[in-house]
Structure 1
């Protein structure tokens, strides 16, 4: 996701065809407990990716001009939490207003942050702990059931801050992938599901008709996911799973990176300028493709979804295959629409929050799962693995929905509209379950490859 510097609850939707709000937010006491637990979990994750896994010299270093020093991310999430939960939500005085400018993502491009007088890892931990102490104290008195569309309504501002830190944790994982040196993360976090195979058929036909896109009911949703609105699509076909490494190897072997027929003008300019002829972190060893994954070199698993490809590579592969990338609306309809009931669900399988049986999320595998995994996480349309594994590029440029209103600040979404960013959907293996749902919209420059991105293909369908 493009970086945000420092969004809008609405009353539960009466919009036809959308699931209602998650039941866990209905009771204020339960909501406070959930918020406190999620704040604890996300901080544990942040510390595990920084001070608990790397020496100070690596935390303050810049491992790539594309990424911040990890110590910047660590203090930034604390500063964002202070600004929104201590100052804006609780109305308390600032703890460290002097560091606001250091951790403003708009004021300081990533490539320049290593030169800033940043907090040390120890200072960042101490600052974050002071902020968190104030947040947990004020949470006990926060009126999370206030009416209207304010910051506290339904706990929105807390949800925003939790998701923000999880998003930075995923960014920090990308930094780990880019760093050189001995591995700092485990080689295998968990074993992928056994006995999986790619779904049959390989494509699913989605019939023509309207569906509810976006949300008005979800208290965790950002402003760019709102409001719910009806979109009427013609029939189309969409792949039942993301494109695999094996399929992308076929594209490479057929000269796909060297044939301008498959590339847009912009894409071919990127290909020729960059010289890229394979996904990021791949290299050939004789007849084998190898990849570097968090400091370890291993054979590229043919059955996994391809990742670390940019939009241009995804678009060229799809065209080579006689297909195209799905639009954002096509992706969302395939992921959440139930043709039997006409309801658009929060997750492909319904309203239940993601568990380990549903999707590859939350760093459990530290890599994509094989195509065909997690059958219990399939959507009513028949598509599989729409959440987790890899962020999926769509053909859609990032823009607001009809009736969009920026909340709580335009720099979260609105300033990125109309800038050529492409939308990605579905989350990756690195995404936390609280930071992904069928309506969640990610976006990035079409040349970005350090993110955990892949794709699936679509094509037009003839009317029956």
Structure 2
């Protein structure tokens, strides 16, 4: 096995160890549904194995199906999350045996695959990038489920660097074209393609994500009770949900507390705000006299290198993320303090755009010009339209293998259980442009 394939094998082992670590718990916790928004953890565990079987073993390897009778149970488009506990899904022990059996055959396919093949699933080992990223995404979903369970002691924490002080609040992004999306990243998804030129007017964008201290000021100023700051849909959500703070926040006297993986703690005011939905982010931005950036504005500020006239894979360049550049891969079970990663700044000087929290943008999830579905419509195409807003950047729970400047996440504007935050932007005035 050559070095390229050895690196893929290492990634496969790492992501599987992660999935197993998040499901090292009593069977009752794994089979229970902790929220109708989420699947039982054991469903996610077997689903990642079934996805591997479908795409690596059957589609890429031509191997006879191992368990075709369970395909329907793990088809995410046939069964909404709220209905999955009623399905005859595999129990924890059987799920572990099944995914282990699939994985052994997956490594055989990896050994035989030709990454120079014209077959798009084989070329650059795309099918392995597909399953590795898919499993990491489900691992992040598992972490969201574990947070909703409010069970303590299930999720490890870790150390993070201290925050930084000083620096401009906003960064100016000059007018001009840039190349959005990608045609060169071998494991990029269909919705990131093709690369295309976008010409933007000048704008300002926050150097850092909006922090808990700033968001608490919005709450204290009555932001949740003033319909001026909310869209009509957002105000309807606010009244129906009775939300008065980010999810998992409570106030005790003059102190804000949050419950993080089953344990209460004072809200750290120097962290990016987390667990807010799009409507909350949009309302805050209006209250602050700002707006959410479009995803094109976000991507230009994050990945465009104006001096080189090209896009970077990450804000700092093309080198892989390291401990001094971003908070990724569940290094700790929380966002890092604001200003913790000056070495991870973009060419324009915008910081913490990768890791910490997914950032809501103003944009609907729509296809790029020239979009083509691959390898299946249900990954992206069926979600295009007015129902979903785009998030960018990746959270502390996202793995580096599943994050880049062009990566597009999306969700309903009411979702708060995800590790989501935001930063603000504003258009430049005529004299600045």
Q: Could you tell me which residue of structure 2 aligns to residue 164 of structure 1?
A: 134
Identify the match of residue 435 of structure 1 among 402, 416, 422: 402
Q: Where do 1:78-89 residues align within 5 Å?
A: 78-89=49-60
Secondary structure at the counterpart of residue 155 of structure 1: helix
Superposition TM-score, scaled by structure 2 size: 0.98
- Deviation track 1:49-76 (CA, whole Å, cap 9, x = no partner) reads 00x2x10011000011110000000000
CA distance in structure 1 between the partners assigned to 2:34 and 2:153 by the alignment: 14
Aligned residue number for residue 35 of structure 1 = 8
**Aligned counterpart, 1:16:** none
In the alignment, does 2:146 pair up with 1:184? no
Structure with the bigger RCO (C-alpha within 8 Å, sep 6+) is: 1
**Partner of 2:72: helix, strand, or coil?**
coil
Task: Write the deviation string for residues 201-257 of structure 1: whole angstroms up to 9, x where unpaired.
Answer: 010000000001000000110000000010000000000000000000000000000
For 1:128-147, what aligned pairs fall within 5 Å after superposition? 128-147=99-118
State which of 227, 234, 238 in structure 2 corresponds to 1:271: 238
Q: Distance between the aligned counterparts of 1:165 and 1:221, measured in 2?
A: 15
Find out whether 1:444 has 2:415 as its counterpart: no
The answer as to whether partners of 1:242 and 1:456 remain within 8 angstroms in 2 is yes
Aligned equivalents of 1:284, 1:344: Cα separation in 2? 44
Q: How do 1:21-420 residues align onto structure 2 when only pairs under 5 Å count?
A: 29-50=2-23, 52=24, 54-147=25-118, 150-186=120-156, 189-194=157-162, 196-420=163-387
What is the rounded CA distance, in whole Å, between the counterparts of 1:218 and 1:204 in structure 2? 27
Give the structure 2 partner of residue 22 of structure 1. none
Distance 2:153 2:79 in 1: 29
CA 1:370–1:232 in structure 2 vs 1: closer, same or farther (change >3 Å)? same
CA contact (8 A) 1:199 1:240 kept: no
Is contact 2:136-2:399 (8 Å) kept?
yes
- Secondary structure (helix, strand or coil) at the match of 2:8 reads helix
For 1:89 and 1:379, the matched residues in 2 are separated by 37
Query: What's the TM-score, normalizing by structure 1?
Result: 0.92
The RMSD of aligned alpha carbons is 1.0
* In structure 1, C-alpha distance between the alignment counterparts of 2:229 and 2:116, rounded to whole Å: 53
Aligned length: 431
| 1: CA distance, partners of 2:401 / 2:151 | 32
Give secondary structure in 2 for the equivalent of 1:85. Answer: helix
Consecutive unaligned residues of structure 2, counting only runs of 5 or more, are none
Q: CA offsets per residue over residues 66-122 of structure 1, 9 Å max, x none?
A: 100000000000000000000000001000000000000011110010011111111
Question: C-alpha offsets along residues 121-156 of structure 1, whole Å, 9 cap, x if unaligned?
Answer: 110111011100101012111111113x61111111
Which blocks of at least 5 consecutive residues in structure 1 are unaligned?
1-27
